[in-house]
Amino acid sequence: ELMALISALNGDPVVHGILVQLPLPSHLDATALINHIDPRKDVDGFHAENVGRLALRQLACAHARPRA
């Protein structure tokens, strides 16, 4: 159910960021959910691709912050 919601949010052009509130209940796979998020919409930067980019100092996205 959460994977389907993330898929819908990934495909929604109005949604610019997705945040998975951690910690999750033990029956949910946080890594799988986070890695299902489009890396361009990963607000926390926890997607495997974004972690790798950070390690290589190639982070391509700005920090998430509210507009004034």
Length of the chain: 68
The predicted pLDDT at position 59 comes to 64
Let me know if residue 36 belongs to a domain.
yes
Let me know if residue 67 belongs to a domain.
no
Let me know if residue 68 belongs to a domain.
no
Q: pLDDT of 21-55, one tens digit each?
A: 999 999 999 999 999 999 999 988 888 888 888 77
Q: What range does the domain containing 28 cover? A: 2-55
Let me know if residue 15 belongs to a domain.
yes
Q: 9, 4, 14, 18: which is closest to 61 by C-alpha?
A: 18
Which residue type does 7 have?
S
The predicted pLDDT at position 23 comes to 96
Let me know if residue 34 belongs to a domain.
yes
Let me know if residue 41 belongs to a domain.
yes
Q: How many domains, the chain?
A: 1
Average pLDDT, stretch 11-15? 97
**pTM assigned to the model:** 0.77
Let me know if residue 64 belongs to a domain.
no
For residue 56, what pLDDT band results from cuts at 50, 70 and 90?
Answer: confident
